[in-house]
């Protein structure tokens, strides 16, 4: 068994444990820095009433807290299943070096998790989405970005 397979085995264990403890859906993830697991996460959507509590998000939050950084440079993420669009976005914002996944989104769909639906919606024009995306007050809001550009003590990210 390679190190990568061992780390994935830990992600799978997090998925199984989380599900059997009724945390939420059957998903687990770990974050690895060097040869060490620095964070574990499992889906906790239903236990915590938090629709964002997916395994990858939980593991990313935990890992960032541990290393006091909002960036996972030099880290890898292992997840028991291909990320949904929310988690894919979170992974890009956290910027790990690699993402390893085991089950595919087709496997997830067969078990009743239709992430594919959100992937399809992303590419639809706003009026055609099942949740309508409606543009208002654009001009009034631009002041926020104007203030940001002028702000001298900002932390870019």
What is the footprint of a second copy within residues 45-64 (CB under 8 A)?
Answer: 45-46, 49-52, 57, 60-61, 64
The residue from 21, 73, 74, 93 that contacts a second copy (CB under 8 A) is 93
CA distances from 140 to 69, 150, 151 (A): 33, 17, 19
The CB-of-36 to a second copy minimum distance in angstroms stands at 19
Q: Say how far apart CA 137 and CA 122 lie, in whole Å.
A: 23
Give yes or no: 56 in active site.
yes
Catalytic residue among 10, 35, 36, 56: 56
Cβ closest to a second copy, residue 98 vs residue 128: 98
Q: Are 10 and 32 in contact (CB under 8 A)?
A: no
The CB-of-35 to a second copy minimum distance in angstroms stands at 17
The residue from 21, 74, 128, 148 that contacts a second copy (CB under 8 A) is 148
Any idea what DSSP says for residue 58?
Answer: H
Q: Say how far apart CA 130 and CA 133 lie, in whole Å.
A: 9
20-49 mask for a second copy (x: CB under 8 A)? x-x-xxxxx----------------xx--x
Q: Say how far apart CA 38 and CA 24 lie, in whole Å.
A: 22
Size of site (CB under 8 A) for a second copy: 89
The CB-of-133 to a second copy minimum distance in angstroms stands at 5
Q: Which tokens is 23 given?
A: 């945390």
The CB-of-116 to a second copy minimum distance in angstroms stands at 12
95-134 mask for a second copy (x: CB under 8 A)? xxxxxxxxxx--xx-xxx----xxx-xxx-------xxxx
Q: Say how far apart CA 108 and CA 144 lie, in whole Å.
A: 40
Neighbours of 29 (CB within 10 A): 35
Stated as kind and residue range, the H or E segment containing 89 is helix 85-94
Active-site residues: which are they? 56
């Amino acid at each position: 068994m390679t190190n990568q397979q061992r780390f994935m085995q830990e992600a799978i264990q997090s998925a199984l444990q989380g599900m059997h403890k009724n945390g939420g859906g059957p998903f687990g993830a770990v974050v690895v820095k060097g040869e060490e697991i620095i964070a574990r996460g499992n889906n906790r959507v239903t236990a915590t009433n938090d629709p964002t509590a997916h395994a990858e998000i939980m593991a990313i939050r935990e890992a960032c807290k541990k290393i006091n950084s909002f960036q996972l440079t030099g880290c890898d993420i292992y997840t028991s299943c291909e990320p949904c669009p929310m988690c894919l976005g979170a992974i890009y914002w956290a910027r790990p070096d690699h993402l390893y996944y085991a089950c595919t989104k087709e496997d997830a769909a067969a078990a009743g998790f239709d992430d594919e639906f959100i992937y399809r919606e992303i590419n639809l024009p706003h009026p055609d989405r099942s949740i309508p995306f409606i543009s208002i007050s654009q001009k009034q809001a631009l002041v926020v970005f104007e203030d940001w550009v002028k702000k001298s003590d900002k932390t870019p990210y």
